[in-house]
Amino acid sequence: MSSFHEEIAGRLERHLKERRLVVFYDPRREFEPFVNALTSKADGDIVPIGASQAWLHRYAGSYVALRHEVDRRLGAGAARHGLVYVPGEERDRRLSPLMEFDLAGHTYEPQLRKLARDILRDRFSDGQIDSFLTPAGVGYAEIASWFDHGSEDTSILRLLYGNVGSEAILVQWILDAGRDEELVKKGATAELRSLVQTRVGLVLSDSASMLNARRDLSRYVLINELRMDLGGASPDALGLISSATTADQRERIRTIALELRRSAPDAYGVLADKIEADLGLAVLQLDAGQLGAIDTFRFEERRLLEEAARLLAAGDRDAALKLALGREDSHWVRTNPRRLAQWSALQQAAVLDQRLLACGHEFGEFKGKPPVAWIERYANADGWNNVDGLDRRLGAFLSAMDEEPVATAAIRKVRQAYAEWVRILSEGFTPSLVRSQWDTGWELDQTQVFDTRVKPTQQPVAFFVVDALRYEMAKELAERLGQVGLVKLEPAVAALPTITPVGMAALLPGASESFSVLPVPSGGISGAIEGITLADWPARWKHLQARVPGAVEIRLEQLLHMSPDALSRYVKGSRLVLVRSQDIDAVGEADVGLVAQQAMATVIPNLARAVHRLSHSGITRFVVSADHGHLLDEAQDDDMKIETPGGVKVDLHRRCWAGRGGRTPAGAVRVSGANLGYDTDLDFVFPTGRGVFLAGGGLRYHHGGLSLQELVIPVLSIDIESGREPEGSEAKVKLHDVPERITNRTIGVRVELAQDFFAAPRWVRVVLLNQSEQVGEAGMAQNAILDPVTKRIQLIPGQPATVGLMLSRDDCTTVKLVVLDAENEAVLAQSSSLTVKLNI
């Protein structure tokens, strides 16, 4: 009996063992030779099926008779298996006469050619099978004979490439010429040509060398994929490569191209670039709108990026964003962090432009409303502060890119629109202050922060005073810390002018009872409590120690570099730990442009790290606040500059003037100290929009004025469960493709969460650390969800994520790449120390 017969019998036997009864429908009578072979070995109505035995009843024109025979057999209570064979009849799925048997047993409805292909594939290639099964007259007997006696025709390709699918064989052959000599020596070239023709429709010349055949197949596959992905007519130049003619061929071409990219991304890049160059594809007259989502060739991705930049510059932000989001699966973007950065920059700019348009339409509604309405709309969850965050994060991202964005002109236009948005917002808010006689009506003033939110009780508190921390920055910090405990963010109104000597004094104990702004004998102005000016850190620290004995202070960078044991000893027994950070203001005032934005990008994650570290040292209550906010202005227009008031100048900053007399220049507003509630004879003059006085310094970063970005400061309170310890993690995370050294600001790695039965998606953060200080983090991710604000990445078990990290600091000589649990900062994976040597 044929081995093809035994293959079918084996499949039937498995169904019989599972359900005891099999109803075998054979509408085209394709399997009658198989059933006849069973009955030829029958013992009565008992037939052998594999190693088992079963009774067999055959439909012979009467369902009534068949049902009677099967019911009799089943009613006899015999444990033997049963086979009901129904030749020449389709199964009626609604009113089948054998419905009870169908439901009780297993319904078997094989198709001869499909079943034959599954069975024959173990020994023969698809090309051989296609050639054999194509003639219409091939039936059961021919297939069984070929299966039993075709050993001399057994696939040489399968012997060389293993028991894999035909498309996988073609992929391996395209990528690797190492078996060509053996293919020729064993006479497998005809089989290879047959496989190519039957699977994808390409006829390879009998005289073509293996080199030329591989070239022709590669071109055929990639050009056909390009052609299938195009919208509209295909260029005449592509007609040099023949087209696949059937849906099956086209689907196999897609499979081969996809597998080429998946299994050998670097080799695919070389292959596709050569075809692009050989055929001159980059100069094809193709509109970007014709290009699909696959990006078979590099020129497609480049042209689409240029089109997205054009759309954004033209104000079609929605279309630009749609193009950017569609590139997430592009091979050229996925395998090149720099291209991923290009699209990410454009995407962020498009999102910012969308938000600018939406928020800009609201300003008219607030005209005439009191300051409290403006402050509330600015600070609420979906408020205008989010626009500031989008622009700041975009600036930080651009500062860390290794290349100039392709969309530079479009991005510059968006950031100029942001500057204009800031001007309109400020010019709308300032008149509301004047109308309200400088009473904002807001419930929390900066002078109340210490006495109402910070003041230590029995529970120790860590008070973070972050120079120039803008409200939206603290909002991002709150989102990063949202898993550690109870987090509450409140807006407070800063004391005017919004400069460091005023704001830092306003955050001290006692400011709620007595606060003024006075001249300082050594020059300038500062906040004063009980008539004593507190213009510098030594004076403020002395005041704080007198009010809170035993307080300790530490700078943020010191805290991050201190060992856990040393930090615990340092803060032990203290009721108040004052943590100071001047990074934002220091680099901003230095007017170092991109360096400032890079430094600002590290402050928020490092504040989060500091909270985690102090919580591990026993601190459970935290408050984060700022002396003032700031403006970041990339437009830097010369028309921002306005004349100073003259008169008796006591202090002058780019965004405020303090003194006596003089005039109020155009584009500015004057208020007396008395109207601000100060016991002083000083007047203060502020620009009404985004203008600056001629006070020296740069135009990129400034503060001191009345804008909501400068005036609204954060008060972030964090309460962590008492006794919380750093948790370990059972998650198994692996890092792949970590470079031996870092030569660019943009670094691409793959991060993989191991797959097991109990594995679930996990949120992580992928960062670059210099000792314990964060100097870079993920800015992009593919095959994973990236939160653009908190930079958390959700890893899916068994699905490696491509992560693009952005180095934010240029002054590091070594870093480590670390994967942290996003909830508790536990280290899940880390690299060895990596040398940093940037190619600047």
- For 509-527, what is the mean pLDDT? 96
Q: How crowded is residue 800: how many other Cβ atoms within 10 Å of its Cβ?
A: 18
What is the reported pTM? 0.79
Q: Return the bridge partners of 527, or none.
A: 517
What pLDDT score was predicted for residue 300? Answer: 93
- pLDDT tens per residue across span 380-431: 999 999 999 999 999 989 988 889 999 999 999 999 999 999 999 999 999 9
Q: Residue 835's pLDDT is what?
A: 92
| 3 state SS for 64-88 | HHHHHHHHHHHHCCCCCEEEEEEEC
pLDDT, residue 490, reads 97
The pLDDT value recorded for residue 224 is 95
pLDDT at 190 over 60: yes
Q: Is the model's pLDDT at 724 over the cut of 60? A: no
Mean pLDDT of 821-834: 88
Is the pLDDT at 593 greater than 80? The verdict is no
Q: Mind listing the pLDDT tens digit for each residue in 67-107?
A: 888 888 887 665 578 999 999 999 888 888 888 888 888 99
pLDDT, residue 726, reads 46
| pLDDT in the model for residue 831 | 92
Express each pLDDT in 478-506 by its tens digit. 998 987 889 999 999 999 999 999 999 99
Q: Chain-centre distance of CA 579, in angstroms?
A: 32
pLDDT, residue 35, reads 92
The answer to whether residue 753 scores a pLDDT higher than 80 is: yes
* CA 832, chain centre distance (Å): 25
Report the distance separating Cα 41 and Cα 39, nearest Å: 5
Per the DSSP assignment, residues forming a β-bridge with 543 are none
Q: What is the pLDDT of residue 590?
A: 64
Q: If pLDDT is split at 50, 70 and 90, which confidence band does 723 have?
A: very low
Contacts of 757 (CB under 8 A, 6+ apart): none
pLDDT of amino acid 320? 95
CA–CA distance, 676 with 438 (Å, rounded to integer): 6
Torsion, CA 779, CA 781, CA 784, CA 789, rounded to 10: 20
Q: Which of 147-161, 359-373, 705-719, 742-756 has the lowest mean pLDDT?
A: 147-161
**Residue found by looking up tokens 């991005």 in the block:** 411
- Binning pLDDT at 50, 70 and 90, where does residue 150 land? low
- Answer whether residue 722 shows pLDDT above 70: no
Give the pLDDT of residue 635. 62
pLDDT in tens, 596-605: 676 677 899 9
Backbone angles phi, psi at 780, to 5 degrees: -150, 155
Residue 664: burial class (beta carbons within 10 Å; 0-12, 13-18, 19+): middle
Mean pLDDT of the chain: 89
The confidence score (pLDDT) of residue 161 equals 83
Rounded-to-integer distance, Cα 588 and Cα 582, Å:
10
pLDDT band at 279 (very low <50, low <70, confident <90, very high): very high
Q: For residue 497, say if its preceding peptide bond is cis, omega within 30 degrees of 0.
A: yes
pLDDT of residue 152: 46
Confidence of residue 1 (pLDDT cuts 50, 70, 90): low
Collapsed DSSP state (helix, strand, coil) of residue 524: coil
DSSP structural state of residue 706: S
Of 326 and 250, more confident = 250
Q: Contacts by 199-207 with C-beta closer than 8 Å and gap 24+? A: 199/126, 199/127, 199/130, 199/166, 199/167, 199/170, 199/249, 199/252, 200/170, 200/224, 200/244, 200/249, 200/252, 200/253, 200/256, 201/242, 201/244, 201/245, 201/246, 201/249, 202/242
What pLDDT shows up at residue 346? Answer: 96
Percent of the chain with pLDDT over 70: 94
Considering all CA atoms of the chain, what is the largest pairwise distance in Å, rounded to the nearest integer? 123
Residue 296 in tokens? 């078979």
Encode pLDDT of 315-333 as tens digits. Answer: 999 999 999 988 877 899 9
User: Is the separation of the CB atoms in 212 and 196 below 8 Å?
Assistant: no
For residues 735-742, average pLDDT: 90
